[in-house]
């Protein structure tokens, strides 16, 4: 089974490639890349790629699942469908479910559930799981390093299996979900989970997805985690300073009459956590950076050589406090939207690599959950299907960023934050990639969105740019 | 104009045998196109004046032996008070009754709100009963906007009036404050320009006050100097930039008079967004003692483009009995000052507005005690000596006697306008309901 993409724009952040050419894919492996491929097998599927972008699959450092607990918001299956529709081939899922993923059994359940695909139906998505995604304890450590299609035998075999399945099925292949395991029991910030055992289950790393106020506990965990060598992710946020705030404090919060969250709620916590990192030497990823001052703290920490990485979310790059004038509950986010100055600083920091990754922080909530006053609504918005087209339009089409800038921040650098090998577009590598049409117009409505939820400020709006296909 | 053309209003005039013909209710009312009254941030001078003049007419009605007019007969006004309130709700209820509307009251205590019903479900329930106007209060900001947007989306022409949303705005309170002050200066022809050059102090918990926010917009629109005073915890530095970029400009009439504006309304962007452009210039507020030159509004604000001015005066002339409203309004810099001490705010003030202090402010580390607050920011007879001799004091109520204002001062008619505010409230709210009726083609 061979596919041939003709005259497609090839983006590959790893090799800093941005060129037009032909690409042939054979059994899930990139067979050949050339300016023009002349000999086309008669059975090959030929895709006219003019104006389309072929690039490595996107990697999301953190998003929320509804399942278990709130399957009406999102199931693991619908999450994968949404991720696939948005061009994501790997999504790391936060443990903030009910119950939370805070013990080995939950991690095993997560992988079993993913393997089962959609309920008990014949959906054969199990075959798409990568070896390391199976709850096989010790094998995991080896399997993980294969992540991202390094192209070794085992990995290639799995991909080829998945690929042949997908070609025989009308459904596109489904991306892999990786569970983050909780740092503390019930993500309550009181007591550490059995971190060493969890590390062997195949969890991608450790995070609570929410602030841990007890610095003694943070310090002890960082010490304890040091030899485990797994990613650790923290959210710098002081709950006391947040208080009842729902948007970034500043001139806009005064005008809109919405309770403010001061920027120091992020920066004071960040400064304290950076001191803990310096003390323990344990690498930490800081999630949901949302302030200009926070960017500066990360910049200087990196300059000092601290082992830190950081991410912001796609919405923080696209919007600022002024958007809150609509009082759309979907604009209430876990880390509040920044001021226009924060937004600018974040955009610059991602482009410079000071902030490594753009996360989606996809947070599904039902219509009932969100059809309340902004201040009463649970924080979060969906985004897996919207992030790429909207970022592309806002940053690449406007020539603020190069296409490779965007792809580094959405694909290769997020993979590194997860200690995974990034996918690459290179002959001989397994095909973990997507085909993106920057021009295609579509409406983000209930019919087109694969997520079970619709909580996004772009709901009902016309979007330019859509993922045509993924390989993984 | 609409009223004159409508045969029903001919009948209406019969009812007014005792008083003026209905059509004199206000001048520029036929140009009133604002369906929802959600915020005063984008109110134009001519809109303020229309409200004031209309309220005068209704105040006259309220002085008659028969205090009821059939203006909104057959229409349903619903009070959707998600946050409980007696005073404002009663005021709106009386206003609607005086206009002969049928009134429904939604009370949260007896509702199904706690169990699954969304705010839009509630609104749609009352819509299904035939509600024409909704008066909405909610303890969180943005709910009236959300319901207005939903009504526009459904294309049902229901008007929404914000009766207080969280800490955001309370337009009818600010308009009745404006009316109270302006009628004091000219009972016959209250208008915005009467306040030009006056000094008005707003004292207290500005941070949590929706009344203060609406009042900042209306009072700065008049050309008055507005001085905010309070401790930094209740008056954050951010208020310096409150009016930035919100210069008051000339509202450009939309497209043309050929009905395109009708259809635009139906598209339902609703809450003020479909208003013509406001002509803005660079700087908003003039900052007080806290500001060092930085944002000095030395950039001279240009007058509205002649084109804009002309079209406004053309509109104003249509049936305005006052010459005032045909004068074009130049864009105006809002004069807003911040003070963390009371004295400079009170110095030579013409009016002092005090704000209600919620007792729970102590628990969130905003104040050490009510006692200290009263010592620093309480309005007392002594402190009024700093003001103009004929200074007046306003309070949106309910008053914490001895906290925001000393008890005896509150009852002293020489200074206190508090009971006039309550009385004005009914006339002003009648005017607002009436104008919303006009916008829907009464």
Query: A430 and A30 in contact (C-beta within 8 Å)?
Result: yes
Could you tell me which chain A residue has the CA closest to the CA of B164? A257
Could you tell me which chain B residue has the CA closest to the CA of A249? B238
| Chain B environment of A372 (Cβ under 8 Å) | 118-119
Give the separation between CA A334 and CA A45, rounded to whole angstroms: 44
- Check whether B325 has a pLDDT greater than 60: no
CATH number, domain of B58, equals: 3.40.50.1370
For the record, the structure tokens of A163 come out as 């690929």
Q: What is the pLDDT of residues B164-203, one digit of tens each?
A: 999 999 999 999 999 999 999 999 999 999 999 999 999 9
Question: What value does the mean pLDDT take over residues B100-116?
Answer: 75
Give the separation between CA A340 and CA A319, rounded to whole angstroms: 8
Give the pLDDT score at A286. 98
Same structural domain, B281 and B386 = yes
Same structural domain, B252 and B323 = yes
| Chain B environment of A250 (Cβ under 8 Å) | 238
Give the pLDDT score at A444. 97
Give the pLDDT score at A7. 96
Contact residues for B144 (Cβ-Cβ < 8 A; gap 6+):
B36, B38, B136, B138, B160, B161, B162, B163, B165
Q: Which of A242, A259, A327, A328 to mutate to test the interface with B (most CBs of B within 10 A)?
A: A327
Determine the 3-state secondary structure of B67 from DSSP.
coil
Could you tell me which chain B residue has the CA closest to the CA of A260? B207
Query: Is A255's CB within 8 Å of B213's CB?
Result: yes
Give the pLDDT score at B115. 58
ipTM value greater than 0.90 = no
Same structural domain, B294 and B397 = yes
Q: What's the N-to-C CA distance of chain B in angstroms?
A: 11
For the record, the structure tokens of A19 come out as 């060129």
Query: Is A256's CB within 8 Å of B364's CB?
Result: no
- The sign one gets for the Cα dihedral A252, B268, B437, B43 is positive
Is residue B321 in some structural domain?
yes
DSSP result, A49-85: -TT-EEEEPEEEEEE---TTT-TTT--HHHHHHHHHH
* Residue from the list B146, B169, B241 with its beta carbon closest to the beta carbon of A257: B169
Give the separation between CA A329 and CA B23, rounded to whole angstroms: 43
Tell me how close the Cα of B211 comes to any Cα of chain A, in angstroms: 11
Domains of chain B: total: 2
Give the separation between CA A112 and CA A135, rounded to whole angstroms: 8
Could you tell me which chain B residue has the CA closest to the CA of A370? B118
Query: A47 and A345 in contact (C-beta within 8 Å)?
Result: no
Same structural domain, B226 and B339 = yes
Give the separation between CA A233 and CA A221, rounded to whole angstroms: 12
* Residue from the list B121, B146, B166 with its beta carbon closest to the beta carbon of A257: B166
Torsion of CA A273, A279, A283, A285, to 10 degrees: 10
Arithmetic mean of pLDDT over chain A: 89
Give the separation between CA A301 and CA A295, rounded to whole angstroms: 10
| Chain B environment of A459 (Cβ under 8 Å) | none
B interface with A, Cβ–Cβ < 8 A, is: 41, 116, 118-121, 138-143, 145-146, 165-169, 207, 210, 213, 236, 238-242, 244, 364
Question: What value does the mean pLDDT take over residues B19-35?
Answer: 59
| Chain A environment of B165 (Cβ under 8 Å) | 257
Query: Is B141's CB within 8 Å of A327's CB?
Result: yes
Strand partners, A381: A362
pTM of this prediction? 0.83
Same structural domain, B159 and B177 = no
Is residue B309 in some structural domain?
yes
Give the separation between CA A209 and CA A222, rounded to whole angstroms: 16
- Helix axes A153-168 and A139-146, enclosed angle (nearest 10): 70
- Check whether A384 has a pLDDT greater than 80: yes
Could you tell me which chain A residue has the CA closest to the CA of B119? A372
Q: Is B295 exposed, middle or buried (0-12, 13-18, 19+ CB in 10 A)?
A: middle
Same structural domain, B351 and B284 = yes
- Check whether A184 has a pLDDT greater than 70: yes
Query: Is B140's CB within 8 Å of A376's CB?
Result: yes
Domain of residue B214 covers: 172-418
| Chain A environment of B242 (Cβ under 8 Å) | 251, 254-255
Q: Which of B138, B146, B160, B242 to mutate to test the interface with A (most CBs of A within 10 A)?
A: B146
| Chain B environment of A260 (Cβ under 8 Å) | 236
- Check whether A2 has a pLDDT greater than 70: yes
Percent above pLDDT 70 for chain A: 88
Is residue B231 in some structural domain?
yes
Could you tell me which chain A residue has the CA closest to the CA of B273? A326
Q: What is the pLDDT of residues A204-263, one digit of tens each?
A: 999 999 999 999 999 999 999 999 999 999 999 999 999 999 999 999 999 999 999 999
Q: What is the pLDDT of residues A113-123, one digit of tens each?
A: 998 876 434 34
Query: A434 and A467 in contact (C-beta within 8 Å)?
Result: yes
- Check whether A188 has a pLDDT greater than 50: yes
Query: A18 and A9 in contact (C-beta within 8 Å)?
Result: yes
Same structural domain, B89 and B189 = no
- Check whether A289 has a pLDDT greater than 80: yes
Arithmetic mean of pLDDT over chain B: 79
Q: What is the pLDDT of residues A30-48, one digit of tens each?
A: 999 999 998 888 888 999 9
Give the pLDDT score at B116. 66
* Residue from the list B118, B168, B210 with its beta carbon closest to the beta carbon of A371: B118
Could you tell me which chain A residue has the CA closest to the CA of B168? A257
Give the separation between CA B299 and CA B170, rounded to whole angstroms: 32
Is residue B118 in some structural domain?
yes
DSSP result, A372-395: S-GGGSPS-B--TTTHHHHHIIII
Query: Is A258's CB within 8 Å of B364's CB?
Result: no
Query: Is A373's CB within 8 Å of B146's CB?
Result: yes
Give the pLDDT score at B263. 36
Determine the 3-state secondary structure of B106 from DSSP.
strand
Question: What value does the mean pLDDT take over residues A436-461?
Answer: 96
Same structural domain, B312 and B184 = yes
Give the pLDDT score at B29. 60
How many helices (H) and strands (E) chain A has is answered by 16, 17
For the record, the structure tokens of A244 come out as 């009842």
Give the pLDDT score at B439. 85
Q: Which of A251, A340, A367 to mutate to test the interface with B (most CBs of B within 10 A)?
A: A251
Query: Is A251's CB within 8 Å of B145's CB?
Result: no
- Quickly state the pLDDT bin for B359 (edges 50, 70, 90): confident
- The full length of chain B comes to 442
Query: Is A327's CB within 8 Å of B142's CB?
Result: yes
Give the pLDDT score at B333. 87
Give the separation between CA B270 and CA B259, rounded to whole angstroms: 17
| Chain A environment of B146 (Cβ under 8 Å) | 327, 373
Tell me how close the Cα of A436 comes to any Cα of chain B, in angstroms: 33
Torsion of CA B13, B14, B20, B25, to 10 degrees: -20
Contact residues for A363 (Cβ-Cβ < 8 A; gap 6+):
A63, A64, A333, A334, A378, A379, A380, A381, A382, A455
Could you tell me which chain B residue has the CA closest to the CA of A367? B118
Is residue B2 in some structural domain?
no
Same structural domain, B401 and B434 = no
Count CB pairs under 8 A between chains A and B.
69
Is residue B97 in some structural domain?
yes
- Helix axes B45-62 and B210-221, enclosed angle (nearest 10): 110
Least confident of A31-45, A144-158, A373-387: A144-158
Give the pLDDT score at B384. 96
Give the pLDDT score at A333. 98
CA distances for B353 relative to B24, B63, B356, B363, B377, angstroms:
32, 27, 10, 25, 12
Q: What is the pLDDT of residues B135-151, one digit of tens each?
A: 999 999 999 999 999 99
Q: What is the DSSP letter of A409?
A: I
Q: Are strands B225-229 and A29-34 parallel, antiparallel or unpaired?
A: unpaired
Q: What is the pLDDT of residues A303-338, one digit of tens each?
A: 999 999 999 999 999 999 999 999 999 999 999 999
| Chain B environment of A373 (Cβ under 8 Å) | 119, 138-143, 146, 166
Same structural domain, B177 and B81 = no
| Chain A environment of B210 (Cβ under 8 Å) | 257
Query: Is B207's CB within 8 Å of A371's CB?
Result: no
Query: Is A373's CB within 8 Å of B119's CB?
Result: yes
Contact residues for B241 (Cβ-Cβ < 8 A; gap 6+):
A251, A254, B284, B285
- Check whether B20 has a pLDDT greater than 60: no
Could you tell me which chain A residue has the CA closest to the CA of B272? A326
Same structural domain, B216 and B141 = no
Query: Is A373's CB within 8 Å of B120's CB?
Result: no
Q: How many CB atoms lie within 10 A of CB B296?
A: 11
Same structural domain, B262 and B160 = no
Query: A234 and A210 in contact (C-beta within 8 Å)?
Result: no
Tell me how close the Cα of B163 comes to any Cα of chain A, in angstroms: 14
Could you tell me which chain A residue has the CA closest to the CA of B269? A326
Backbone angles phi, psi at B330, to 5 degrees: -75, 150
Query: B338 and B276 in contact (C-beta within 8 Å)?
Result: no
Q: What is the pLDDT of residues A396-409, one digit of tens each?
A: 999 999 999 999 99
Query: Is A373's CB within 8 Å of B242's CB?
Result: no
* Backbone angle region of A438, left / alpha / beta, with phi > 0 → left and psi within -120 to 50 → alpha: alpha
**Taking the CA atoms of chain A, what radius of gyration do you get in angstroms?**
21
Contact residues for B278 (Cβ-Cβ < 8 A; gap 6+):
B42, B44, B247, B248, B249, B250, B251
**Taking the CA atoms of chain B, what radius of gyration do you get in angstroms?**
21
Helices of type H across B282-393: 306-317, 343-346, 370-377, 381-384
Give the separation between CA B300 and CA B298, rounded to whole angstroms: 6
Strand intervals (E) in A146-269:
176-181, 205-207, 232-235, 247-248, 260-261
Query: Is B141's CB within 8 Å of A374's CB?
Result: yes
Is residue B3 in some structural domain?
no
| Chain A environment of B168 (Cβ under 8 Å) | 256-258
Backbone angles phi, psi at B164, to 5 degrees: 120, 110
Query: Is A254's CB within 8 Å of B207's CB?
Result: yes
Query: Is A374's CB within 8 Å of B168's CB?
Result: no
Strand partners, B379: B405
Percent above pLDDT 90 for chain A: 85
DSSP result, A25-57: EETTEEEEEES------TT-EEEE-TT-EEEEP
Give the separation between CA A123 and CA A126, rounded to whole angstroms: 8
| Chain B environment of A371 (Cβ under 8 Å) | 118-121
Question: What value does the mean pLDDT take over residues B195-213?
Answer: 97
Question: What value does the mean pLDDT take over residues B276-299?
Answer: 34
Q: What is the pLDDT of residues B230-252, one digit of tens each?
A: 999 999 999 999 988 777 654 44
Q: Is B180 exposed, middle or buried (0-12, 13-18, 19+ CB in 10 A)?
A: buried
- Quickly state the pLDDT bin for A425 (edges 50, 70, 90): very high
Tell me how close the Cα of A242 comes to any Cα of chain B, in angstroms: 12
Whether residue B154 is preceded by a cis peptide bond, meaning omega within 30 degrees of 0, is no
């Amino acid at each position: 089974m061979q596919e041939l993409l003709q005259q497609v724009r090839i983006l590959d952040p790893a090799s800093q490639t941005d060129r037009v050419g032909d690409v042939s894919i054979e059994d899930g492996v990139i067979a050949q890349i050339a300016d023009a491929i002349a000999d086309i097998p008669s059975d090959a599927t030929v895709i006219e790629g003019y104006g389309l972008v072929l690039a490595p699959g996107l990697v999301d450092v953190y998003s929320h699942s509804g399942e278990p607990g709130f399957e009406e918001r999102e199931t693991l299956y619908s999450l994968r469908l949404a991720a696939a529709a948005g061009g994501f081939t790997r999504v790391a899922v936060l443990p903030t479910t009910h119950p939370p993923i805070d013990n080995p059994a939950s991690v095993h359940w997560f992988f079993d559930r993913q393997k089962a695909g959609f309920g008990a139906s014949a959906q054969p998505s199990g075959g798409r799981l990568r070896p390391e995604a199976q709850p096989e304890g010790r094998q995991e450590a080896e399997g993980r390093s294969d992540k991202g299609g390094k192209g070794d035998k085992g990995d290639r075999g799995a991909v080829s299996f998945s690929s042949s399945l997908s070609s025989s099925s009308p459904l596109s292949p489904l991306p892999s979900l990786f569970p983050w395991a909780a740092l503390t029991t019930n993500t309550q910030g009181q007591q550490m989970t059995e971190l060493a055992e969890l590390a062997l289950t195949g969890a991608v790393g450790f995070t609570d997805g929410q602030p841990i106020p007890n610095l003694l506990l943070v310090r002890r965990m960082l010490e304890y985690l040091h030899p485990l060598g797994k990613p650790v992710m923290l959210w710098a946020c002081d709950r006391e300073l947040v208080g009842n705030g729902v948007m970034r404090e500043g001139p806009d919060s005064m005008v809109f009459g919405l309770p403010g969250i001061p920027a120091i709620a992020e920066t004071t916590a960040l400064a304290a956590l950076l001191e803990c990192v310096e003390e323990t030497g344990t690498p930490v990823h800081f999630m949901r950076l949302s302030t200009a001052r926070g960017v500066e703290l990360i910049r200087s920490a990196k300059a000092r050589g601290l082992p830190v990485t950081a991410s912001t979310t796609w919405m923080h790059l696209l919007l600022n406090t002024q958007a809150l004038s609509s009082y759309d509950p979907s604009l209430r986010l876990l880390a509040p939207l920044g001021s226009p100055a924060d937004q600018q600083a974040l955009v610059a920091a991602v482009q410079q690599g000071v902030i490594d990754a753009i996360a989606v922080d996809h947070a599904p909530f039902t219509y009932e959950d969100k059809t309340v006053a902004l201040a009463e609504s649970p924080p979060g918005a969906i985004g897996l299907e919207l992030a790429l087209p909207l970022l592309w339009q806002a940053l690449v089409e406007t020539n603020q960023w190069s296409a490779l800038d965007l792809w580094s921040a959405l694909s290769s650098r997020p993979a590194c934050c997860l200690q995974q090998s990034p996918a690459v577009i290179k002959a001989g590598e397994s095909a973990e990639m997507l085909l993106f049409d920057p021009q295609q117009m579509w409406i983000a409505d209930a019919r087109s969105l694969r997520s079970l939820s619709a909580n996004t400020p772009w709901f009902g709006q016309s979007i330019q740019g859509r993922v045509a296909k993924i390989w993984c | 104009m609409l009223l004159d053309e409508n045969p029903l209003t001919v009948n209406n005039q019969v009812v007014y045998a005792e008083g003026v013909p209905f059509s004199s209710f206000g001048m520029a009312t036929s140009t009133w196109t604002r369906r929802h009254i959600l915020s005063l941030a984008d109110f134009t001078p001519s809109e303020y004046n229309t409200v004031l003049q209309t309220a005068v007419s209704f105040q006259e009605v309220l002085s008659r032996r028969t205090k009821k007019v059939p203006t909104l007969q057959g229409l349903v006004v619903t009070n959707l008070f998600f946050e409980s309130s007696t005073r404002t709700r009663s005021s709106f209820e009386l206003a609607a009754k005086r206009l002969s509307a049928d009134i429904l009251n939604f009370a949260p205590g007896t509702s199904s709100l706690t169990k699954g019903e969304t705010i839009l479900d509630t609104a749609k329930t009352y819509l299904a009963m035939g509600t024409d106007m909704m008066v909405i209060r909610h303890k969180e900001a943005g709910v009236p906007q959300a319901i207005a947007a939903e009504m526009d989306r459904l294309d049902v022409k229901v008007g929404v009036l914000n009766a207080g949303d969280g800490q955001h705005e309370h337009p009818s309170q600010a308009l009745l404050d404006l009316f109270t002050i302006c009628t004091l200066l000219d009972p016959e022809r209250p208008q915005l320009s009467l306040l030009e050059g006056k000094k008005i102090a707003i004292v207290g918990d500005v941070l949590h006050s929706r009344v203060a926010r609406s009042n900042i917009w209306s009072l700065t629109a008049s050309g008055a100097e507005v001085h905010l005073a309070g401790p930094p915890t209740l008056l954050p530095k951010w208020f310096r930039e409150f009016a930035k970029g919100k210069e008051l400009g000339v509202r450009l009439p939309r497209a043309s008079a050929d009905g395109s504006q009708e259809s635009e309304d139906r598209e339902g962007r609703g809450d003020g967004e479909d208003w013509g452009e406001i002509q803005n210039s660079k700087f908003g507020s003039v900052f007080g003692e806290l500001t060092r030159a930085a944002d000095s509004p030395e950039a001279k604000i240009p007058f509205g483009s002649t084109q804009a001015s002309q079209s406004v005066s053309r509109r104003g002339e249509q049936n305005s009995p006052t010459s005032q409203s045909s004068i074009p309004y130049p864009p105006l810099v809002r004069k807003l000052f911040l003070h963390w001490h009371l004295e400079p705010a009170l110095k030579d003030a013409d009016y002092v507005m005090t704000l209600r202090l919620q007792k729970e402010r102590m628990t969130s580390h905003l104040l050490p005690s009510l006692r200290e607050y009263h010592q620093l920011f309480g309005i007392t007879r002594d402190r009024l000596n700093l003001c103009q001799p004929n200074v007046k004091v306003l309070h949106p109520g309910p008053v914490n006697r001895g906290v925001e204002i000393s008890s005896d001062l509150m009852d002293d008619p020489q200074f206190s306008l508090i009971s006039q505010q309550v009385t004005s409230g009914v006339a002003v709210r009648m005017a607002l309901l009436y104008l919303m009726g006009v916008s829907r083609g009464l």
